[in-house]
Structure formats: structure tokens, C-alpha cells
Amino acid sequence: MASSEITSGALVTLQDLHPSSPYFKQGASLRVTGKLHDYSVETAIATIVDGSERLKINTQHLRELSFRVGSIYQFIGELLIQPDNEAVLQARMGRNVDGIDLNLYHQSLQLLRQFQADHLKKPAT
């Protein structure tokens, strides 16, 4: 029987999602944050941006979320990699995070990764 375990979404930036990244894997559970660039009601596809990077988000399972272009959103879901190597996040959760300081968010993510690298990979003494 296939496992139906839902894993937590790894915190990633859109800059982390490139083909040589360890996060760029089919079915990877990710949490991404970005500014809504566009949204299609017909296809339920949103595009978020962070700097020059973009990511398409399939929002078909999100019922209670209203979308406003220019607002900042955070999504958790699974990464689907298309045959042309384009990534689409199949969102299972989304929320508006307007007011977040994206620069501070990026800095805290870097510090978290540094802490994890320093403390989680060293054997206990």
C-alpha cells in the first residue's frame, strides 16, 4: 500500500528552485513565498515572483483564499516538474502574508540554514 504521509514543506526561496538544486525534485514538499504577479480564475494557476525568479502555483485545491495581484502569499505544496523542466507547485495550503518584510525573511532563512548546518550534522559530544 502506498504511503499517504504528508510531509512538512521545506522552507525555500524561489532562487533555490533551479534544476541543480537539491529542492528541485518531483514531489518535493516545499513552502514558498512571493508576490502574486498574476492569477487565472479559469485555470486556477497563480504566478508568484521574488526578484527575477518566478514560480507557477496550481491553486485548484484552495477554496477559501482570495487572490490580489501585488499581494504577498505563502504556499505549501508538492513540486511537479513538467517534461520541459518547468516547475509548478501543487498547493495544498496558501495564505496571504502581506506586511512580511521579504528581505528580513530571506535573512532569517539564511540564518536558519546556517544553524541547521552547524548543529544538526555534528555528532553529539
Task: Look at residue 1 and tell me if it is in a domain.
Answer: no
Task: Look at residue 3 and tell me if it is in a domain.
Answer: no
Task: Count the alpha carbons within 13 Å of 12 in the hemisphere toward its beta carbon.
Answer: 26
State yes or no: pLDDT of 28 exceeds 90: yes
State yes or no: pLDDT of 34 exceeds 70: yes
Strand partners, 40: 45
Whole-prediction pTM: 0.88
**Residue 90 and residue 78 in contact, taking contact as beta carbons nearer than 8 Å:** yes
Q: What is the CATH number of the domain that holds 28?
A: 2.40.50.140
Find the domain containing 23 and state its range.
Answer: 10-121
d(CA 118, CA 120): 6
pLDDT digits (tens, 9 = 90+) for 60-98: 999 889 999 999 999 999 999 999 989 999 999 999 999
d(CA 13, CA 36): 14
Number of domains in the chain: 1
Report the pLDDT value the prediction gives residue 81, as an integer from 0 to 100: 95
